[in-house]
Structure 1
Amino acid sequence: MRGAGLVAGGGPFEVVRGESGALEYVNAPRTLVDFVEATWAHGDRPFLVAEEVVWSYREFFAAATALARRFTEEYGLAPGERAAVLMRNRPEWQVAFWAAQFAGLVAVPLNAWWTEGELAYVLDDCTPAVLLVEGERWQTVRGWARRHGARAVVFDGDAEEGVERYEDFPAPDPYGAPPAVEVRPEDDATIIYTSGTTGRPKGAVATQLAQAGAAVHPRFHAAVAALARGQVPGTGPAPVALMTYPFFHVAAFTHLYAVMAAGGTVVLMPKWDADTAVRLIDRHRITHWSGVPATALQLLDAAERAGNPLATLTQLSTGGAAPPPALTARLGERYGARVEPRTGYGLTETSGGVLAHFGDAYRADPAAAGIPAPAVEVRTDEHGELLLRGQSLIRGYWRDEAATAAAFTPDGWFRTGDLAVMGDDGRIAVVDRIKDIVVRGGENVYCAEVEGVLHDHPAVADAAVVGVPHPVLGEEVAAVVRLRPGAALTGGALREHAAARLAAYKVPAHVVFGDVPRGATGKIAKRELRESAGVVRLGVRSG
């Protein structure tokens, strides 16, 4: 493999087997505090950009260390207590998160789109000692904080009895140091709750060592990608990245870690809008874009409408869901080799991306998910389920021994719930979620494969596939499709398109035209989709 020297003895990504039996990086930070302190040298380089506000690395560190000292010295919070963060993407989110790390607290990023009831369930589960909330979302957790007597800091909010406003705190000391708290590799660093699309969210607990490993993975894949382009890893200008993932999502961590390690700049968006993204790419000379496949396609559509060449863009990366195979071809047709395509694979339980696929290898095999990072082991069981073991995996689910035991084998392999195929070249193709297989008359139909074919039709903007009940076959294939503005297409024509590329049993028996429901992180809301698709069998709204 190109870049084998990177993992050799003494190399930057050398690994050894740790006490738990999992592989660990040798020459790398062991905690998130170690990782972030290593980036202090970036000093006055711009780090976070939000509209007209620019935070340098130096300003960010001063703010994070000052808040961390307030946690320990003013509030008396002890290592291991939880700090919940509830904000949209804004610089203060990062200040709050890293302050928790400096203070030895366990950061709990909360989904900013959850309702009051959903938030109350998670807060009851993790029982945070402090809430770090932006003003516009304070009302959704105010009642819980009052009932439980939890301390709260509100960012950009109104004054209220018993609540401190972040803006009222003294200006950070630019020479201030973090609190004298020992943060150990085995300590918990984060509790990130699963999306809850198949039930109640579970709190995935990652240790400091796990998150430190997650911060190394993207650096390795970036180094291998550079070598594949004939470049020396770590050289060239620092990246300027547009952050489209919400900060509470693990994909955002992977993206952010990579940029921070290189001393790059992260440009924030309050909410996703493709036309705004095109303008931001021009204004800030964005080099790296990353997001879910649905927003990537929207970005390319917006750029084409505007006749904008995205002249500064050098990398477009997708994660969070399987990208349609046609995405790489579309990038190549419009931008040639200038914009490098990337994709990958990761889960909340892996603390972000653990597989990556990029450049010419991705163009040649767009169905694969890529190669694993060095501190990640992969295998499949007798059913084809992908199993993972390595440094960045969580230690288990918060206060849920039964769920932890069900998810891990006795020797520490995590059951992903995904079906995968291992290639001879070490690349892995993630075929589909086990639960997203449609079993039609005894034949397995992989929803992701059918969705990719539907995306290939020029009139299709988005597509999702599920199984619906059938009295004889057990299940049959149904598709929900959103057309591009102004496009006209019948279900029959789309089925003909699919039939030319798929075996007959894989072709959707029903096509519904409408919106494809997606969650806050861009994943298809399959449960909601199945409920809406249930009417398809009766012929309602089918094409």
Structure 2
Amino acid sequence: MVLSVGDRFGDSEAVVDGSLRLTFTDLVHRVRLAAGAFQQRGIGKGDRVAIWAPNSAEWMIAAFGLLTAGGVLVPVNTRFKAEEAADVITRSGARAVLIQPGFLGMDFAAPAGVEVIDLKSDFLTDATPFEAPSPDWISGDDIADIIYTSGTTGRAKGVMMNHRQTLRLYAEWCDLADLRAGDRYLIVNPFFHTFGYKAGTIAAMIRGATVLPVPVFDVDAVVDLVEREHITMLPGPPTLYHSLLAVPDKTKLATLRAGVTGSADIPVELIRRVHEELPFETLATGYGLTECGTATLSRPGDSFEDIATTVGMPCDGIEVRIAEDGEVLVRGYSVMQGYLDDPEATAETIDADGWLHTGDLGEFTDGGRLRIIGRKKDMFIVGGFNAYPAEIEGFLLEHPGIAQAAVIGIPDERMGQVGKAFVVRKAGDTSALSEAELISWSKQRMAGYKVPRAVTFVDALPLNASGKVMKDQLR
């Protein structure tokens, strides 16, 4: 698909990243050079390579080059600290990791034995262009990527997807999200996430849209880019649209035509204001998981209330039903091939009839649209990022002054939700650990969106008969 964009879209702009401007023809050449670079390193069919770096043209070139060489992409969350990233890189079996030194002041070091490559070096260009050994070098059934997602156990699991699944699903996404050839697509959603990588870069290659990658969201910089580069497509979490509504001079946003968002609880008023105060002609909402990509999307003509309070209808070839306990189940071609090296977790998530158990609670409206009403596993979403209480609690328990910890999501006007921790101090601890100290300590050990924004110290946590924390009482 990627190697055909030169023939399909030629001299149209494919990527604009700062001063770098590549046509689709240029991009194909760069991708073939990158594929050749991997080939010369002995990285080929089925070999895994991690990319731990922010959105950039080089990220795209490296990812598509790796896939062209027959490799398997392992994107790593740039918000991860070194220990979190090392765990994912090690368990993925990655032969190498591509990094961007100095991003967000992080020390992007790799585990022992894993080659580290500077994404901004001449690695991607100092090579002989790749030539496929045979026309059927890559099969649609080959694993294309392993994207890690945290579970309630707190340990990330590697979701395996093949080429065929991704190409079919995101071709439909282009239609429903109104992505068009020639669109100028500003991608603030991180490439390490399905929303940025698949509904972003891959969708743009399918459709022939220009990608403008944004490494860190800054509303002033985004507004300047929108005005200067005539951006037409701008998906993102609800927080993005809140930021745009606060822009004083909205004439700078005049070229915006289409957006896509997603969240369990978007205020109807937000959707109404976006339509009335911003130039968007379409604003779609959807629901998905790393384990199945986009499962549902709204449809053109849906009302403000439908877009705000539901996540649309199932995509073509995807079945969605509600289990007896209210859990949302998904079945179809887009469901993952399984978790890497974890058949037990795979069997727990995908039942014998092929239904993916999402862990989310939902219901269908009379019009057949899915409404998400809660999270079975207590997950909450901070500015578009999934936060899992069990994982955060595990980090908090590493603090020498903490005996017990429980985390819940609480409403936040800007981020949608943020974490709040209930903490029991260790008996005899005389350090008088404060809220500010614990938050500061947490910031050194976990990604920013996981850090609790509030802490309440309690003498004991409410437990049920089996010793589990009753989080409904904490709420």
> Structure 1 length normalisation: TM-score?
0.68
Match of 2:214 in 1: 269
1:63 is the counterpart of 2:63: no
Q: Distance in 2 between the 1:108 and 1:179 partners?
A: 24
CA, structure 1 residues 197+56, in 2 after alignment: closer, same or farther (shift >3 Å)?
farther
1:166 is the counterpart of 2:123: yes
Aligned partner (choices 294, 297, 316) of residue 353 of structure 1: 294
CA, structure 1 residues 121+335, in 2 after alignment: closer, same or farther (shift >3 Å)?
closer
Match of 1:52 in 2: 19
Aligned partner (choices 432, 452, 471) of residue 528 of structure 1: 452
CA, structure 1 residues 60+535, in 2 after alignment: closer, same or farther (shift >3 Å)?
farther
Unaligned runs of 5+ in 1: 1-34, 158-164, 226-233, 439-446, 470-513, 539-543
1:330 is the counterpart of 2:296: no
Secondary structure of 1:349's partner? coil
1:250 is the counterpart of 2:194: yes
Q: How far is the alpha carbon of 1:413 from its aligned partner?
A: 0.8
Deviations 1:361-404 (A, max 9, x none): 14142201001111211111101111001122211111111111
CA, structure 1 residues 332+168, in 2 after alignment: closer, same or farther (shift >3 Å)?
closer
1:199 is the counterpart of 2:154: yes
CA, structure 1 residues 62+237, in 2 after alignment: closer, same or farther (shift >3 Å)?
closer
Secondary structure of 1:59's partner? helix
**Code of the aligned partner of 1:71:** F
Secondary structure of 1:528's partner? coil
In the TM superposition, 1:48-447 aligns within 5 A as 48-72=15-39, 74-136=40-102, 140=107, 142=109, 144=111, 147-148=112-113, 150-157=114-121, 165-166=122-123, 169-170=126-127, 177-178=131-132, 180=134, 182-195=137-150, 199-222=154-177, 238-252=182-196, 253-301=198-246, 303=247, 305-308=248-251, 310-319=253-262, 322-335=265-278, 338-350=280-292, 352-365=293-306, 366-436=308-378
Query: Is the contact made by 2:245 and 2:277 (CA closer than 8 Å) also made in structure 1?
Result: no
CA, structure 1 residues 383+54, in 2 after alignment: closer, same or farther (shift >3 Å)?
same
**Code of the aligned partner of 2:33:** A
Q: RMSD in angstroms over aligned alpha carbons?
A: 3.4
Q: How far is the alpha carbon of 1:268 from its aligned partner?
A: 1.7
Secondary structure of 2:309's partner? coil
Match of 2:384 in 1: none
CA, structure 1 residues 167+91, in 2 after alignment: closer, same or farther (shift >3 Å)?
same
Q: How far is the alpha carbon of 1:112 from its aligned partner?
A: 1.6
Q: How far is the alpha carbon of 1:140 from its aligned partner?
A: 4.1
**Code of the aligned partner of 1:245:** N
Q: How far is the alpha carbon of 1:320 from its aligned partner?
A: 6.1
CA, structure 1 residues 128+421, in 2 after alignment: closer, same or farther (shift >3 Å)?
same
Secondary structure of 2:311's partner? coil
Query: Is the contact made by 2:30 and 2:124 (CA closer than 8 Å) also made in structure 1?
Result: no
Query: Is the contact made by 1:384 and 1:419 (CA closer than 8 Å) also made in structure 2?
Result: yes
Q: Distance in 2 between the 1:135 and 1:178 partners?
A: 32
Q: Distance in 1 between the 2:459 and 2:217 partners?
A: 31
> Percent same amino acid at aligned positions?
28
Of the two, which has the highest radius of gyration?
Answer: 1
Secondary structure of 2:374's partner? strand
Alignment: residue pair count: 409
Q: How far is the alpha carbon of 1:297 from its aligned partner?
A: 1.0
Q: How far is the alpha carbon of 1:264 from its aligned partner?
A: 1.0
Unaligned runs of 5+ in 2: 381-407, 423-438, 462-475
Match of 1:464 in 2: 417
Deviations 1:50-78 (A, max 9, x none): 11211111111111112212323x22333
Q: Distance in 2 between the 1:184 and 1:435 partners?
A: 36
Deviations 1:204-240 (A, max 9, x none): 1112222223322303424xx6xxxxxxxx9x76211
Q: How far is the alpha carbon of 1:312 from its aligned partner?
A: 0.7
Q: Distance in 2 between the 1:88 and 1:54 partners?
A: 18
Q: Distance in 1 between the 2:144 and 2:379 partners?
A: 35
Q: Distance in 1 between the 2:81 and 2:222 partners?
A: 27
> Structure 2 length normalisation: TM-score?
0.77
CA, structure 1 residues 200+436, in 2 after alignment: closer, same or farther (shift >3 Å)?
closer
Query: Is the contact made by 1:65 and 1:179 (CA closer than 8 Å) also made in structure 2?
Result: no
CA, structure 1 residues 466+536, in 2 after alignment: closer, same or farther (shift >3 Å)?
farther
Deviations 1:184-210 (A, max 9, x none): 122111000114676121111112222
Query: Is the contact made by 2:296 and 2:313 (CA closer than 8 Å) also made in structure 1?
Result: yes
Secondary structure of 1:361's partner? coil
**Code of the aligned partner of 1:251:** F
**Code of the aligned partner of 2:259:** L
